Amino acid sequence: MSQIETTATAVLPSMDFQVDVDQCNACGLCTRDCPMGIIEGNPPRVDPEKEIRCVRCQHCLAICPTGAISLEGRKASDSLPLTTGDLPSLDQIDLLIRSRRSIRQYQNKDVDPELLRRLLNVSAYAPTGVNARALTFTVIDRKRRMADFREQVFAALTKHAARIPDRLQFLASAPTAYAEHGIDILFRTAPHLIIASAPTSAPCGQVDVPIALAAFELLAVSAGLGTVWCGLLKAVLETLPELKTHLDMPVEGIHYYPMLFGHPAVEYARTVQRDGAAIVNRLS
């Protein structure tokens, strides 16, 4: 099991805002686009007393057409360039979202570690409230470790059956169903687990968590993997919070949600049909 944690802006060092005056064309884009309004002057600068207001969004670095700005030692030349035609088309994203399925059948093999590392790294680019970046990804990245955790959960469900609320009583049969019939109603025999979490002190932690998982899911699907949001495991962890210690997670003080993932053992031939599934209120 491993954890990847983003760094909260509150503990970041000086923003080290630098401008290459030979490259700067005085367009003013960085000044106008700064969400906190702390960039000023020509050439642009940031008053040291205002640095504390910077949320490290890097808008200034990203918008500069000549690459004149560096921030916290990050140079524009190390960013990926954006040009017309680089991004997926609307039709491609449309198909990706329409074709996404909750996968409940998985192949018995691990996801390539390098691929998983890439998915987790890019998922950390997901937006967070006030750019707090206080997310933690707790990951079970080996199927053998996943099997151990499954047994730990099933043992706890058996031992503490009396603590399971009535609405979740069907989970009391999960250990027997798996042991006797190989039916895994909780983990769906998925080889991997990711839990996104954020401290309750984060400005928008409760929202940051599902946004990050949504990013991970779309990345995973685009890489040929399958995922399923595991509300049942969330319910189990809420009912038996001591199980969080097996994941090196705090028992209290966090917002979190689990997702199972791996190579799907099923392939869908077409999208489903959900046009008009959401109510749309148009205000005029």
Determine, yes or no, domain membership for 1.
no
Question: Taking phi first (over 0 means left), then psi (-120 to 50 degrees means alpha), and beta for anything else, what does residue 182 get?
Answer: left
Q: Tell me, what's the pLDDT at 8?
A: 46
> Does one domain contain both 113 and 50?
no
C-alpha 211/C-alpha 221 separation (Å) is: 16
Q: Tell me, what's the pLDDT at 6?
A: 57
Contact residues for 211 (Cβ-Cβ < 8 A; gap 6+)? 126, 127, 128
Determine, yes or no, domain membership for 165.
yes
Q: Tell me, what's the pLDDT at 183?
A: 96
Determine, yes or no, domain membership for 255.
yes
Determine, yes or no, domain membership for 86.
no
Tell me how crowded residue 2 is: count the other CB atoms within 10 A of its CB: 15
> Does one domain contain both 31 and 170?
no
> Counting Cβ atoms within 10 Å, is residue 69 exposed (0-12), middle (13-18) or buried (19+)?
buried
Task: Give the end of a domain, one of 44, 78, 112.
Answer: 78
Determine, yes or no, domain membership for 3.
no
Answer whether 187's CB lies under 8 Å from 236's CB.
no
**What are the phi and psi torsion angles at 126 (to 5°)?**
-60, 145
- The domain containing residue 43 runs over which residues? 9-78
Tell me how crowded residue 116 is: count the other CB atoms within 10 A of its CB: 21
What CATH number is attached to the domain comprising 132? 3.40.109.10
Determine, yes or no, domain membership for 117.
yes
Q: Tell me, what's the pLDDT at 11?
A: 46
Determine, yes or no, domain membership for 205.
yes
> Does one domain contain both 16 and 116?
no
Q: Tell me, what's the pLDDT at 3?
A: 72
> Does one domain contain both 72 and 108?
no
Both ends of the chain: CA-CA distance in Å?
51
> Does one domain contain both 163 and 62?
no
Per-residue pLDDT for the chain (284 aa), expressed as one digit of tens each?
A: 777 665 444 445 689 999 999 999 999 999 999 999 999 999 999 999 999 999 999 999 999 999 999 999 999 999 999 988 899 999 999 999 999 999 999 999 999 999 999 999 999 999 999 999 999 999 999 999 999 999 999 999 999 999 999 999 999 999 999 999 999 999 999 999 999 999 999 999 999 999 999 999 999 999 999 999 999 999 999 999 999 999 999 999 999 999 999 999 999 999 999 999 999 999 99
> Does one domain contain both 68 and 110?
no
Number of structural domains found in the chain: 2
Determine, yes or no, domain membership for 44.
yes
